[in-house]
Structure 1
Amino acid sequence: MAPTSLRVFDSLVKDKTSFSTSDPNGKTVTWYTCGPTVYDEAHLGHCRSAISIDILRRIMRDYFGFSVRFVMNVTDIDDKIILRSRYQYLGTRLQKELESMEKTKAVTEATSIGRAAIKHYLSTHLPLLPSDIALEAYSVEAKRLYHDLVNGEQTDQTAKLEMHMKNCQSGIDALVALESVSDGTALSDFLHKAKDVIHPYLDYLYGTTIDSQDHGIFTGIAQKYEKLYFDDMRALNVLDPDVITRATEFIPQMIKFVERIITKGFAYPTADGSVYFDIAAFEKAGHPYPRLEPGNRNNSALRADGEGTLANKSAVKRNDVDFALWKGSRPGEPAWPTPWSKIGGRPGWHLECSVMASEVLGSEIDIHSGGEDLRFPHHDNELAQSTAYWSTEGKSAPWVNHFLHTGHLGIQGLKMSKSLKNFITLRDLFKRPDWTHRLLRICFLLGAWHDKIEITDEIFKTAVAWESKMNNFFLQALDCARSPQTATAEADATRDKPSALASLERAKNGLHEALCDSFDTPTAMKVISELVSECKNMTSLSDTDLLTVSKWLTRIVTIFGLNPEGEEAVLGQGKGEQLQGPAFDSQILVWHGVEIPFAAQEPIYAAAKLRDDVRQHVLSAGEKVDNNALGKLIEKDQPQPKAEENSTKYYTAATEFRTRMQQLVSENASKKEILSLCDDFRDIQLFSLDIYLEDREDLPALVRPLDASLRRALAERKATAIAAAAAKAKQKAENIEKQLARDEQAKISPGELFRDKALYSEWDELGIPTRDVNGKEITKSARKKLIKLQERQTKLHEEWLGRNRTQ
């Protein structure tokens, strides 16, 4: 479809705008995205941006048909990486030194360092507490002194405070444990658990002694986590970038970039070897700053965050808003020589992306993307310095045509952040049995890419329901392709009724409108869901129409990245296998995860057919099964597996089922025993092989894989059935108890009903009380009530006598 109507939500104009590309032919899109700073494992916050951008990229490429050149940077040198590298270097050095000592001496040394580290951490991050506080008093005093701050409004600052309190508590706990074991067995455990307080202390003491020319100290940690990041992204079915850029590989280009900006009068060097961008000169030349977030111009906290933890606070800048293009390196920081200073230095964070994007994609980029927190100061500073670099006298270069910023992934209202330690790593998330990579992507598809999203139980359940709906639809398509039904006259007669093809056309139009409307995937997901519902509710859905809808849906979900990249297995078959069916197109792809393993298909489908035939024969029989006919049915069409399949677990299960069924028939087993074996094959044998048979009225059982969502559904169904049975049993027990109580009451003779001397003292000849226990005469109104009660008892007693006589 023509992409001319595509509109995108552009952060530059803060609204939807018609998409345009710098390519004169309108076919190629250049795209630069800010990638990760690789100093730790990837977490959910990373995958929010990565998956959402991947979805947009796939839609641009595979739906709208653009040729997309996608470039991503990996920040492999910045303040966070420098600090983490020094921490790791110094921590490893300390551990080796302690391990070389005699154990008692090592414990003494470690204890001394631990106490000093805690004191330093308290004075740096928790100043309300005395730095020499007794370790055993820390917990109580920290909660008391910081109670109001921690229990007030939750912000990133309170989250950071809580993190510091936990870090200090972990360090104290580890130190106490170390001091209680004098033989050094807890030394390694101490160094690990207390690292968040020990490493900053070691850096405070020795960070400046690290050789700034030994770049391997700093790039090694980046290389390690870059590999882990891309491993995680591939597991999430995120496409690899076409080009990956790393800051340390573009140092000469960065130096030339800075030199040009200095020459043009938009930057100035300082005595510490840094170079700052001159905002006043830039604005005087007619360029606005900042463009993305004008309201944050004077936000000193955001500006400081953009400059980094190791920024030189004493640097002499012309204006507070000026930002570093190049940072003069201080002792312990990696350095590269520059023409403007003998000190040497390293690139500023903002400079890296401007240079790498410009070097690879040129002076005009169609799309620049990243998380919404990068708008200011990072992308605003990129825009400023790149505009300064590329603009010529009297002509301002646009540099970026469209800025696309993805929303945050939040936890209880807070941004997920490694620095706040409030993140869940991807590897930890997918250790949980209920989470899958596909479900996570569905969660993001259900929300707008540029809005904040929180993974709640509600959105998780919605994602599970959507996936389950698609599973069931594609299972129906698989079954249709494997066992096509012959069209009937009745089906032909319903052609004038609402058809799947009409619904499909509406869905195509609805989805196109949604994707043209700034990649509106929530609406697109709703369109898909409604199409499946309409098909499901059709009383006559032909195989041809079902497979046509299935083919289109598979294309769309694959574009959304819900099928593995490159997955081209034919519907219902293994790769390379041809399937016969009405109007079957061998290019129909699978909805990944609903097909059972290819090795299981021949034996399990055969066993499922045998089970269907047996159940149909038994259920349609009279009181007694015709075992002779059933025996012939079992022997019919016995599959002959290929030699390599003889030993598979699927063939073994199928063979055992057939053998056991033959044994039951030879023993003239009852209907109940035969049907019980059929149920056991479904619920036990196949369940253990991650396969489930879904019995259907008047249709063969549906063979489906036992995935996480189906396991959940079956578990919920079982739990509901158990709860219903328990409620029924409870009600039955209560009814029995009530009946027994009624029977005990009914046994009493009417004349003995009120013979209770604790209540009454005199009775008449019928047993009705005339005086109470104190000798007071029973009133007329009370006597009338007692007579009515005795009449009721007479009726109950006579009914009881009648029941017991018949027994």
Structure 2
Amino acid sequence: MIQLYNSLTKQKEHFTPLQKGQVRMYSCGPTVYNYAHLGNLMAFCVADVLKRNLRLQGYQVRHVMNITDIDDKTIRDSQAQHITREELTEKYTKAFFEDLDALHIDKADEFPSATAYVDHMIVFIQQLLDKQYAYQGQDNSIYFKVRQFSDYGILGNIDLDALKEGGSGRIKADEYSKENVQDFALWKAWESNDGPNYWEPCFTINKEKKIIKGRPGWHIECSVMSTELLGEQIDIHTGGIDLRFPHHDNEIAQTEAVTGKQFVKYWIHNEHLLVDNKRMSKSAGNFYTLRDITGKGYRPAAFRYLVLSGHYRQQTNFTWNSLEAAQHSIERLQDFVVRMHEITATGNAVLLDEIKAQRQMFLDALANDLNTPVALDAIFDMIKTVYAHIDKISEHDAKEALHVMNDFNSVFAVLCMEQEELPPEIAKLIAQRERARTLKDWALADTLREQLRQQGYEIEDTAQGTRWKRISS
């Protein structure tokens, strides 16, 4: 049985979906005003591993991840670059999908863009107005009454009684801190710096019809896209811990105010990614994207592995040294897969029970609040056990070990599990080197080894013959 830490209840709980065997899952996606930074990508990796583990454990998962293509940042940056918001968001949406592919993140079933659901947002806001949870401010924007919703701030531990005593006022910005809790914007009345980014819906406010030129607030977007595509209640909502307040608290308030039902059963938040033990920021010079990693010759999988080598509810510290170590760990795992493919010895299996026990330890660790570090330990323990008996194991043992590695890779997604075919030109060089060694032409053999290395292949001479592997790039 799967256990997950629920940010809503502040405790680990047995996972029981609303519908047996079916999971409805929503993840906060990117705001496509720039390349996703490593902190964003960590959240997407964690959501992916959670989804993959649910499927490995037998659940069917329907997953939605939104794309925010209208908000304060997309408007600000498109105007600063003298291009349209559509041009800006199209560029960075494309980059986002490139990042997903590079990190082997399984695509969600739906990637709704906020602008495609503005009409639905208008209907949703009207429902909040009708239920007296929203009102029009003096600036013509429409705001949510936080005092009206008794459970407001349940994720962010907001003291609503203290808020009621002190009063709140209104806040139009998309992002703000706990110290600035105020009625938040559902619909932002147009201002000149919004440029051409507006709609002109008609709202009914106090029985009076009013056309309010403007655009949706950021928080309403996820509530609407989630309920439209997954229904009024969902099993899991994921995101970085920085979204817990105000974004996710605002989602709860406005959604439950409309439906009268619990919006999300399990809230899953991953901790911050640090860089050299500091918060990532452009001003600190430690703001990195996936392109910075690949530009230094590292594989995207190394970043994915680095994220998963720590627990998602603990801060992960990114350094170039830790990324290097992650890449070497992947190489060790890949070498093991290659070695298991090479085992052809007949005879009885000698390690089946041990390998199956370590597979169960791997699955148990993932079922225990997605404990990826302990799951990795189980895999490396299995590899150590197999290598300790490498001269005795049969093809049956190797196939069982590969079965475990397939399970591992179905969640971690950092390996190539198929036997790679050598390109003809590489196979020719290896054959030439073998002939040189047979003739004891060591100088030529060394020259050919270097040629192979320069083309991305490492050669190892063993008692069983020449072995090769790809060099990570």
TM-score (norm 2): 0.88
Which structure has more RCO (C-alpha within 8 Å, separation ≥ 6)?
A: 2
> Which of 376, 396, 403 does residue 525 from structure 1 map onto?
376
Q: Provide the aligned C-alpha RMSD in A.
A: 2.8
- Asked if 1:13 corresponds to 2:9, the answer is yes
Does residue 1:328 correspond to 2:186, yes or no?
no
Count, aligned residues? 456
Contact 1:79 1:310 in 2 (8 A): no
Aligned positions of 1:405-416 closer than 5 A: 405-416=269-280
Aligned partner of 2:73 among 75, 80, 102: 80
CA deviations over 1:414-433 (Å, ceiling 9, x no partner)? 43356977411211211112
Cα distance per residue 1:587-620 (max 9 Å; x no partner): xx42xxxx554334xxxxxxxxxxxxxxxxxxxx
1:497-512 pair list within 5 angstroms: 499-512=350-363
Q: Distance in 1 between matches of 2:23 and 2:174?
A: 36
> Within 2, Cα distance between the matches of 1:420 and 1:29?
40
Distance in 2, matches of 1:382 and 1:537, equals 53
1:180-201 CA distance string (max 9 Å, x none): xxxxxxxxxxxxxxxxxxxxxx
* Amino acid across the alignment from 1:522: P
Instruction: Give the distance between the partners of 2:147 and 2:339, measured in 1 at CA.
Output: 66
Matched, 1:59 2:60: no
Contact 1:279–1:289 under 8 Å retained in 2: yes
Residue equivalent to 2:202: 339
Q: 1:401 to 1:290 in 2, by over 3 A?
A: same
Aligned-partner SS, 2:450: helix
- Unmatched runs of 5 consecutive residues or more in structure 2: 204-209
**Is the CA contact (8 Å cut-off) linking 1:475 and 1:702 kept in structure 2?**
no
Q: Distance in 1 between matches of 2:400 and 2:426?
A: 35
Structure 1 residues 705 and 223, CA gap change in structure 2 (3 angstroms): closer
> In structure 1, what is the equivalent of residue 237 of structure 2?
368
Q: CA deviation at 1:530?
A: 0.3
1:142-181 → structure 2 map (5 Å cutoff): none
Whole-Å Cα distance in 2 between the matches of residues 294 and 66 of structure 1?
A: 32
Q: 2:99 is matched with which residue?
A: 232
Please say if residues 33 and 77 of structure 2, whose CA atoms lie closer than 8 Å, have aligned partners that are also in contact. Answer: yes
Counterpart residue number, 1:687: 453
Q: 2:431 maps to what in 1?
A: 654
How much does 1:222 deviate? 1.1
- Per-residue deviation, 1:560: 2.0
Given the superposition, is the C-alpha separation of residues 305 and 514 from structure 1 closer, same or farther in structure 2, using an over 3 Å criterion?
farther
Cα distance between partner residues in 2 of 1:294 and 1:486 = 62
Matched residues in 1 for 2:456 and 2:282: separation? 37
Residue 37 of structure 1 aligns to a residue whose secondary structure is coil
Amino acid aligned to 2:29 = G
Alpha carbons 2:234, 2:265 under 8 Å: kept:
yes
Q: Is the 8 A contact 2:171 2:185 kept in 1?
A: no
Secondary structure (helix, strand or coil) at the match of 1:513 reads helix
Whether the aligned pair in 2 keeps the contact of 1:58 and 1:561 (CA below 8 Å) is no
C-alpha distance in structure 1 between counterparts of 2:108 and 2:284, whole Å:
28
**C-alpha deviation, 1:304, in angstroms:** 11
Q: Which amino acid in 2 is paired with 1:471? A: Q
Q: 1:76 to 1:306 in 2, by over 3 A?
A: farther
For the 8 Å contact 2:280–2:287, the answer to whether it is kept is: yes
**Contact kept in structure 2, 1:653 and 1:685, CA below 8 Å:** no
Pick the aligned partner of 1:431 from 286, 291, 295. 295
SS of corresponding position for 1:337: coil
SS in 2 for 1:370: strand
1:388 aligns with 2:257: yes
CA contact (8 A) 2:275 2:319 kept: no
Partner amino acid, structure 2, of 1:515: L
1:470 aligns with: 333
Instruction: Write the letter of the residue equivalent to 1:436.
Output: R
Which whole-Å CA distance do the structure 1 matches of 2:441 and 2:219 have between them? 73
Q: What is the one-letter code of the residue matched to 1:704?
A: K
Could you tell me how far apart the structure 1 residues matched to 2:357 and 2:259 are?
A: 47
> 1:368–1:400: 8 Å Cα contact kept in structure 2?
yes
Among candidates 412, 423, 429, match of residue 599 of structure 1: 423
2:402 match: secondary structure: helix
1:90-101 to structure 2, matched below 5 A, reads none
Question: Looking at CA atoms only, which structure, 1 or 2, has the larger radius of gyration?
Answer: 1
User: Cα deviations across residues 315-372 of structure 1 (Å, max 9, x unaligned)?
Assistant: xxxx962111111111231221132444411111111111111111111011111111
Report if the CA contact (8 A) 1:410-1:416 is conserved: yes
Which residues of 2 match residues 536-547 of structure 1 at below 5 A?
A: 536-538=387-389, 540-547=392-399
Q: Which residue does 2:207 correspond to in 1?
A: none
User: Residue 169 of structure 2 contacts residue 183 of structure 2 at CA under 8 Å; is this kept in 1?
Assistant: no
Give me the whole-angstrom Cα distance separating, in 2, the residues matched to 1:390 and 1:31.
18
Q: Secondary structure at the match of 2:65?
A: strand
Assess if the C-alpha contact under 8 Å between 2:359 and 2:379 holds in 1.
no
Q: Per the alignment, do residues 43 and 279 of structure 1 end up closer, same or farther by CA in structure 2, a change over 3 Å counting?
A: closer
More strand by share: 2
Q: Counterpart amino acid of 2:469?
A: R
Mapping for residues 562-577 of structure 1, pairs under 5 Å = 562-563=414-415
Contact 1:59-1:560 at 8 Å conserved across structures: no
Q: Residue 256 of structure 1: CA displacement?
A: 1.0
| 2:423 counterpart SS class | helix
Q: 2:206 — aligned with what?
A: none
Q: Which residue of 2 aligns with 1:46?
A: 40
Q: Within 2, Cα distance between the matches of 1:293 and 1:20? A: 24
Which amino acid is 2:395 matched to? Answer: D
Partner of residue 447 from structure 1, selected from 305, 310, 328: 310
- 1:1-23 deviation per Cα after TM superposition (whole angstroms, max 9, x unaligned): xxxx1110111011111112121
> CA distance change for structure 1 residues 656 and 281 in 2, over 3 Å: closer, same or farther?
closer
Shift of 1:555: 2.9
Alpha-carbon displacement from aligned partner over 1:644-671 (angstroms, at most 9, x marks no partner): xxxx46436635874x689x6xxxxxxx
SS at match of 2:269: strand
CA distance in 1, matches of 2:170, 2:39: 18
Q: Distance in 1 between matches of 2:313 and 2:68?
A: 23
Measured at CA, do residues 448 and 382 of structure 1 come closer, stay the same or move farther in structure 2, by a change above 3 Å?
Answer: same
Check the 8 A contact 1:306/1:377 in 2, yes or no. Answer: no
**Partner SS state of residue 430, structure 1:** helix
Mark the CA change 1:329 to 1:650 in structure 2 (over 3 Å): closer, same or farther. Answer: same
2:122 aligned residue: 255
Q: Percent identity?
A: 31
Query: Cα offset for 1:461?
Result: 5.1
**Consecutive unaligned residues in structure 1, runs of 5 or more:** 93-216, 312-318, 392-396, 565-588, 601-647, 665-672, 709-807
What does 1:664-743 correspond to in 2, within 5 Å?
Answer: 674-681=441-448, 683-696=449-462, 698-708=463-473
- From 162, 169, 173, the equivalent of 1:308 is 173
* Contact kept in structure 1, 2:152 and 2:158, CA below 8 Å: no
- Alpha-carbon distance change, 504 to 342 in structure 1, aligned in 2, over 3 angstroms: same
